[in-house]
Structure 1
Amino acid sequence: MINAAIVGLGGWARVLVNSVQGKSDKIRFTAGMTRTVSKAADYAAEKGFPLSDDYAEILADPAIDAVVLSTPHSQHAEQIVQASAAGKHVFVEKPFTLTKVSAEESVAAADAAGVVLALGHNRRFMPSWTELKNRIDSGSLGTIMHVETNMSGLGALSFQTGGWRADRAESPAGGM
């Protein structure tokens, strides 16, 4: 059983916790960290884990095997490097980091520490993607020479002013 800490307790973090807490024999959340403990205290109590507002405290806890980062994207690179140095496995939500250099540094830190670094991507288990993978694996499509996709939608029209998707500091590449 992997004992994990959820770091960040906004809406998506709660989806992640709800998807496994009390349902999985592979992972459970045994701690949480948020800058706003008062906003998440009732939720954490309901899910059965203590809260902290100190990331270093989470990383220093020998009972925690991994961290799940559901934090602002501008924090990911630093948090990954720190968790890796502490010997914690890392699952991070997308976007991974904000620059190629910080992504490379994050991967290098995890590699050097010998920890698993995983990136959340919510489309890989969709039926269309699994069917495509099955066809590629079977060889029925022949040798793949080039792939181009368009995953667009009307979502950008509803970005809220002040939300991370509309904030160039948090999402410098827009929808990329």
Structure 2
Amino acid sequence: MMITCAVVGFGWWGQHISRILKDLDEIKIVCVVEPDVQKRSDIESLGLEYEKEYADALSKYSIDAVVLTSPNDKHDEQIALAANKGIHIYCEKPLSLTSTGAKLSIAACKENNVVLAIGHERRFEPGIQIIKEMITTGRLGTLMHGEFAFSHQKLASLPATSWRTKKQYAPAGAMTQMGIHLTDLMIWFFGPVKTVHAITADRSLGWETGDLTSVHFQFESGATATLQAILNTPNYIRTFVSGTDAWVEVKNSSHPDTPGGIVSIQKLDKHGTNTEEKLQWSDAVQANLLAFFQAILGHADYPFSQFELMHNIDVLEAIIKSSETETSVKVHATKLE
């Protein structure tokens, strides 16, 4: 079965997603929605149809799925429009800027029996899956602490007028750019978050939202973690989890959109056994999209729970509040119906 989809938004990430989808035999992009008409020629140069208005595209074409790579504040409305038409949704992170918005989106997709997928591709990286397997099989023992870092300079040249620089659309520094990927992994590894203490600052870019984010977490289990996300430093991606029986560290030499990188994995157990291995870069973004399409076809469940989708936005809300108030904030866990 050929799945028809519309890509919504043709910025940096929308262009990357479009190129991936064009290479998948089981997918047909029926159009790309982009309000900036100056990008029309770029879209058509890829052999794709251009549409200016999202609502018009949903009415004009027979669409099985939408892939939303639009500005963060558009997600709530765009999800609702698609869900109410029975269209499956892949939404780039964050799902929403508010817990209320996330709850409504999850409910709309559930009510209309459509798949809601999220652009957290880091879960699909082989190195990250090794950490998850070590946790679920108990090889790490009792989890103690995690250290999560995701920094790069891919957005550093954006003009000051970009929506990504504004607190209204991209609050808490690097949180909606990279940090929210890390909180997704934390929830997947450690479970519900209890409290957060966040610090943001503008050190170099002159962005209203800031260009660095540092957060300390405590989980309901008592374990702790730290997050580092910097918008103006060379690529640095590191995931570290320690337990009573072992620790494991994964470092990525390149961004998820950049082929050719190396993934370095190191493990040390309580007996002093040290193991190191290296993996080649793999396309986790494509893997996430394929998981979405498999779920649409009914071949497999999409591997994110509603709780995980919801709780990540609860955590985001708490981080935003903490960064603004300069205090520790307890995470409010939204209940889903």
TM-score between both structures, scaled by the size of structure 2: 0.47
1:119-163 Cα offsets, whole Å, 9 max, x none, are 101322334312102223433234x656644325465x9475333
- The aligned residue for residue 24 of structure 1 is 24
After superposing the two structures, state which structure 1 stretch, 103-112 or 131-140, moved more: 131-140
Greater shift after overlay, 62-71 or 105-114?
62-71
Counting only pairs closer than 5 Å after superposition, residues 58-97 of structure 1 correspond to structure 2 as 58-61=57-60, 63-97=62-96
Residue type at the aligned position of 1:77: D
Contact 2:4 2:64 in 1 (8 A): yes
Is 1:7–1:68's contact at 8 Å kept on the other side of the alignment? yes
Runs of 4+ in 1 over 3 A off after TM superposition: 144-149, 152-155, 157-160
More off after superposition, 62-71 vs 144-153? 144-153
Match in the other structure for 1:8: 9
SS at match of 1:150: strand
How many Å separate the matches in 2 of 1:91 and 1:173? 24
* Distance (Å, rounded) in 2 between the aligned partners of 1:129 and 1:175: 21
Which residues of structure 2 form unaligned runs of 5+? 176-337
**Which structure dedicates a bigger proportion of its chain to strand?**
2
Quote the offset at 1:101 in angstroms.
0.6
Bigger mean CA deviation after superposition, 146-155 or 160-169: 146-155
| Aligned counterparts of 1:7 and 1:170: Cα–Cα separation in 2 | 17
Partners of 2:83 and 2:114 within 8 A in 1? yes
* 1:40 correspondence with 2:39: yes
Change (3 A) 1:149 1:165: farther
Query: What's the CA shift for 1:36?
Result: 1.8
Greater percentage in helix: 1
* Paired residue type of 2:57: I
Report what 1:120 is aligned to.
Answer: 119
Count of residues in Structure 1 that have an aligned counterpart in Structure 2:
173
Q: Which runs of 5+ in 1 are unaligned?
A: none
CA distance in 2, matches of 1:56, 1:62: 10
Q: Offset at 1:6?
A: 0.7
**Structure with the greater alpha carbon radius of gyration:** 2
Contact map agreement 1:165 1:174 (CA 8 A) in 2: no
The match for 1:111 is 110
Partners in 2 of 1:147 and 1:5 — Cα distance? Answer: 41
For the aligned residues, what is the CA RMSD? Answer: 2.4
Q: Which amino acid aligns with 2:7?
A: I
Amino acid in the other structure paired with 1:94: K
| CA distance in 2 between partners of 1:141 and 1:129 (Å) | 14
Aligned partners of 1:159 and 1:165 also within 8 Å: no
For residues 52-94 of structure 1, the C-alpha deviation after alignment (integer angstroms, 9 at most, x for no partner) is 1121121124521111111110111111111111111111111
Whether the aligned pair in 2 keeps the contact of 1:159 and 1:166 (CA below 8 Å) is no
* Distance verdict in 2 for CA 1:89–1:154, change over 3 Å: closer
- Paired residue type of 1:4: C
